[in-house]
Amino acid sequence: MRFSNLLFNSLKESPKEAKIVSHQLMLRSSMIQQHTSGIYTWLPLGFKVLKNIEEIVRSNQDQIGCNEMLMSTIQSSDLWTKSGRYADYGKEMLRIKDRHDNELLYGPTNEEVITDLFSNYVNSYKGLPKYVYHIQWKFRDEIRPRFGVMRGREFLMKDAYSFDLDHDKAVKTYQTFFMCYLKTFKELGLQPIPVKAATGAIGGDLSHEFQILAKTGESELAYDPELVSQDLLEKSFDEITSMYSASDEMIDKSKSNVVIGRGIEVGHIFNFGTKYSEPLECYVLNNEGKKVTPYMGSYGIGVSRLTAAIIEAFHDDKGIKWPFNISPFKINIISSNDKFIDIAGELYDTLSKKYINISFDDRDLSLGRKIKDSELIGIPWSLIIGKNFDEKNEFEVINRSSGEKFFVNKQELENFQFEQYTP
């Protein structure tokens, strides 16, 4: 993408409504624009990031045999009345009436819809287990939206649902998703702390929140420091969950060797048994031909929230520092002045064949301004063609994260390991 074609306008000052750094940087770098309280338009840069995160989440779901599908945003109230949640959900649910006066709602979650769908498609224990997910916009009419997309009313969520024959199998499934989540977050550059959670409105006997440590996190948590210092992917579910972690009121202050911090909840998983399958009359026939009710679980990841959470984790006073695979652009080509614009353009064409998502700042602006924008947006690499090219035929490559500079000739540039980037 050439900057001359990009819908982008960096702001030097933060709009005053933004209180936390991720919100400020998202506004300053033209990632989002607020439409109304808690509802945002995703501008080109923000949308690219959102899709990159979505893709990482998607590939990890696919790896555990989870089926991607797409359920509607608008739902009928019928199923919710059946499950008993139409009344329970209260004002957080956005209720709508169509022209026939039918009661509809903008889905805040999908347990009802998927349970109903499942009961129509799977009738035998042989069809179990089944995992399905979708990545879809949700709406919860929060009392007080805040912090930009961190707590919006409209948000993009990956929600998966599992169906198992019995409780033990459902627990195994739960563990599979648990480990899948750790891997997903690691690919996003994050190491969240799995916190035992109260099961709340969704109910069930087993639930974990995945919290990213951040000063601006909304909830307090206490945890065993080993949950942060060790690679959890090398441990088993039992080893991990035997370490101490607790949130808010569940924190045991008498515990020693425990760290108190604040966290951003980026994922939440539940094992809730037959809480929905039973009232919605979802069953399969077992090997004796008898009706049994599947055991279910649901598994959420806040995709739009993750954009903000990742910025909270990776930024400095100059702007965002995107991990390579999340960044809207991987390499930003900058010509220091118009003299090099053609050479820069050729380089852009060449590199575009090798990498996806290269950008070329072809605007007629001073070098300083272009570098500032590149830093603000958080592009992992800037590639400058300027005086060093003139004098020594060298390109200058700057790493956003470390600030390191490399001077390379054309041959070296071709072999340069741009992917080796971690903030």
Partner RNA sequence: CGGGGAGUAGCUCAGUCUGGUAGAGUGUCUGCUUUGGGAGCAGAAAGUCGCAGGUUCGAAUCCUGUCUCCCCGACCA
Residues in touch with RNA (CB under 7 A): 9-17, 19, 28, 34, 36-38, 92, 140, 142-147, 149-153, 155, 157, 200-202, 209, 218-219, 265-268, 300-302, 304-305, 318, 336-338, 364, 366-369, 371-373, 375-376, 384-389, 396, 398, 405
Shortest gap between Cβ of 338 and RNA (angstroms)?
5
Shortest gap between Cβ of 43 and RNA (angstroms)?
13
Question: Residue 391 and residue 382: Cα distance in Å, rounded?
Answer: 19
Q: Is 282 exposed, middle or buried (0-12, 13-18, 19+ CB in 10 A)?
A: buried
Q: Where are the alpha helices (DSSP H) in 193-302?
A: 226-229, 237-242
Shortest gap between Cβ of 354 and RNA (angstroms)?
22
Nearer to RNA, 145 or 189 (CB): 145
Question: Residue 232 and residue 90: Cα distance in Å, rounded?
Answer: 38
DSSP per-residue string spanning 342-354: HHHHHHHHHHHHH
Shortest gap between Cβ of 135 and RNA (angstroms)?
12
Nearer to RNA, 32 or 240 (CB): 32
Question: Residue 297 and residue 394: Cα distance in Å, rounded?
Answer: 56
Nearer to RNA, 271 or 293 (CB): 271
Nearer to RNA, 117 or 341 (CB): 341
Shortest gap between Cβ of 182 and RNA (angstroms)?
15
Nearer to RNA, 302 or 380 (CB): 302
Shortest gap between Cβ of 221 and RNA (angstroms)?
12
- Which residue has 């601006």 as its token pair? 216
Pairing mode of beta strands 154-164, 295-302: antiparallel
Residue type, 277: S
Nearer to RNA, 220 or 226 (CB): 220
263 is written with which tokens?
């966290």
CB atoms within 10 A of CB 414: 11
In angstroms, the first-to-last Cα distance of the chain is 23
Nearer to RNA, 156 or 284 (CB): 156
Shortest gap between Cβ of 151 and RNA (angstroms)?
5
Q: Is 176:64 a contact under the CB 8 Å cutoff?
A: yes
Backbone angles phi, psi at 369, to 5 degrees: -60, -40
